[in-house]
Amino acid sequence: MNRVVLLCLCISLTLFACKRTGMKEFSSGEGLANLARQVRPDFYLGSFYTPGHHGLSPDNPDNEQMREFIRKNYNIITAGIFMFGMQRDSGIYDPQRLANIDYAVDFANDNNIKVYFHPLIGGANYSPDWINNGHYTKDELRGIMKERITTILTRYRGKVHYVDVVNEALGSGKISPEGEFEWRKDDGKGEHVWMTQMGMWHGKNHDFPQYLVDAFTISREAGGENLKLILNEYENETTVSSKGKTFLALVKAMREEGIPVDGAGMQIHCKIRNGRFYEWGDTEFDFNAFNDMLKLYEKAGIDVHITELDIHLPPDPSKKDFELQGKCFTEILRTAIKSPAVKSLKTWGFTDKYAWKIDGIQSYPVIIDENFKPKPAYLGWYELLRSLTSGKKE
Instruction: Give the tens place of pLDDT for each residue, 295-339.
Output: 999 999 999 999 999 999 999 999 999 999 999 999 999 999 999
pLDDT digits (tens, 9 = 90+) for 200-252: 999 999 999 999 999 999 999 999 999 999 999 999 999 999 999 999 999 99
Share of the chain above pLDDT 70, in %: 92
In angstroms, rounded to a whole number, what is the distance separating the alpha carbons of residues 93 and 126?
Answer: 15
Strands (E) located in the chain? 44-49, 76-80, 87-89, 92-93, 114-118, 162-167, 170-175, 181-183, 200-202, 207-209, 228-233, 263-266, 269-273, 276-279, 303-312, 342-347
Q: Quick check: pTM over 0.85?
A: yes
**What is the model's pLDDT at position 322?**
98
pLDDT, the chain, mean = 92
Check residue 55 and give its pLDDT.
86
- Closest of 183, 307, 295 to residue 246, by C-alpha: 183
pLDDT at 21: 28
Q: State whether CATH 3.40.140.10 applies to domain 3-390.
A: no
Asked whether the predicted pLDDT for residue 172 surpasses 70, the reply is yes
Average pLDDT on 350-364 reads 95
SS3 labels along 349-376: CCEHHHCCCHHHCCCCCCCECCCCCECH
C-alpha distances in angstroms, 381 versus 18, 294, 321, 329, 386? 15, 20, 17, 7, 8
The pLDDT score that the predictor gives to residue 49 is 87
Over residues 66-76, the pLDDT tens digits come to 999 999 999 99
Which pLDDT score is estimated for 390?
A: 85
Identify the pLDDT of residue 12. Answer: 47
The per-residue pLDDT for 212 is: 98
**Residue 141: is its pLDDT beyond 70?**
yes
Mean pLDDT of 161-183: 96
pLDDT at 360: 92
Q: Please give the share of the chain, as a percent, with pLDDT higher than 90.
A: 86
Position 18 pLDDT exceeds 90 = no
pLDDT score at 27: 53
Whole-number pLDDT of residue 6: 45
